[in-house]
Structure 1
Amino acid sequence: MPTFTDPARDANEAYEALRGLAHATRPVEDPSDTYAVIGDLLGGMRSLRQVLDQLATVHLNHQHQVTNEARDLAGGAVEALSAADELHQAGTLIDQAHDRLNAAMGHSGRIVWNPQEPLTERWVGIVFLHSEEADRVLDLIDREGAEAGIEHLSGWDYGSETTDAAMENGDVHDRAPVCAGDRQAETGDYAMTYNPQAGHVALYRRHLVRPEDALDPPAEAPVPPRRSPAARETTPRRGAGRDKSWFSHPGVAAVKQTRGLSL
């Protein structure tokens, strides 16, 4: 502990504290601690500057009361003046170091040492339609354009309910799936794939997840064979559980039923 009265003892304690700090900063487990360390060093540097000035003043005040090793008063005065001058020079260098350290502290204070993990982009299935259900949307796209189709299909998006259903059903992709012959259009966070020849249309929404929650896509996604209009299936791609309505979301239907929701 500092004495605040014994300069020799306090100087020795400061030396030991700096030795300890030198060892402690070899492995810095939490880099965010460096900001506080720099701040304390900056305060210590100001105190060191004050100490150097005070030590220089002591040498100046006692220059006429000392001798050198040869017991020469004049020689003692020269040594005292020289020591005071060097102490002042050291103080000037401390000022420069202080400015550099202060700038370093400013830069360090703007660092985010532990940023949140970057999110991974995935696409969740909103709805997949085929047969007569898809024909209505395909006709809309043909009349009014792809954006009108996306806006219409976005009515199947129930937010978190749709996302949860897609996660449960494994309808999550690293990119919006595109089969052979499909066309694709994007608006905002939505991507629509449609194929007038095969008679299907699908809508996907961009969804950001933590890397550990991202599903690894298969090495090679199978491409379904093209179907003629006469051979279009009438069974939803995602299995049973659809509403009777032609615009029901196949993955959310079960969720809505359990929650008592209806369109």
Structure 2
Amino acid sequence: MPTFNDPAAVAEEARQAMRGLAHASQRIDDPDVLYGVAGELLGTLRSLEQSLIQLSGACLTYQGRAAHDDGDRNLGAADAWAAADALAQAARHISGAEALLDQASGHLGRIAWQPPLRQWVSVVFLQGEEADRVLDLIDQDGTEAAMEHLRGFDYGEETTSAALVNGHVYDEPPTGMSEQRVNDGAYALVYSRAFGHVALYREHDPASETTTASTATEMTGTGPVQDAATAEDVQRALEERRDRVRGDGSWFTPDRIAQIKRDRGLGR
């Protein structure tokens, strides 16, 4: 929490807060938040401009106390003046950025975001040793083989229901700067060697979301979600089904993909 009386401590908190925002804004799942975030940043820039002006003034206020390590006060005073001038220039640049951000905020305030024409549901997310196996498969036989392999985890409406219940639905597959994305028809493969994870997403028609979500809630019909009562139950049931179809005795490969691996000589 800001102390309002310790500029060094508050500056540290501001740095950490902006670092957190830089991380959080790597992926925006809901465009409705853009206007609010822009407005908060506009207020941040105004405060930053004021702070820079005040720091510049402080440099001039204490210019008479400035000296280099060797005691040279003339050089110290010159540096204090130069710092004050640089801070004042920085404030002017912030003022320009503030005007542009104000324009952006005005544009965002006039937008009524419409529902997406398509969405993506999470089919499977793997990390650790399981992801390493898929990354090896990519290196050995390309992304097509990896996508064919991961499609073995897609159980159609059951996968869609689990994704809707758990909130694993996205306007675009989550993709960071260190991740690579490959599209193939209705599927998107996202993987990262740096972070050691692999994910597969499938296109979903939002128009069918109400029906599918209702099905997942009522738990009618057949499949692993039949008797599930909560999101955790749905996910657990789906995982149990995935476990039952792992048939090559090695890691997590469904039977039909295990056969492909054996045919291609990729078995371990």
Question: TM tier, shorter chain?
Answer: 0.3 to 0.5
Q: Considering fraction of residues, name the structure with more helix.
A: 2
TM-score between the two structures when normalised by the length of structure 2: 0.43
TM-score (norm 1): 0.44
Structure with larger Rg? 1
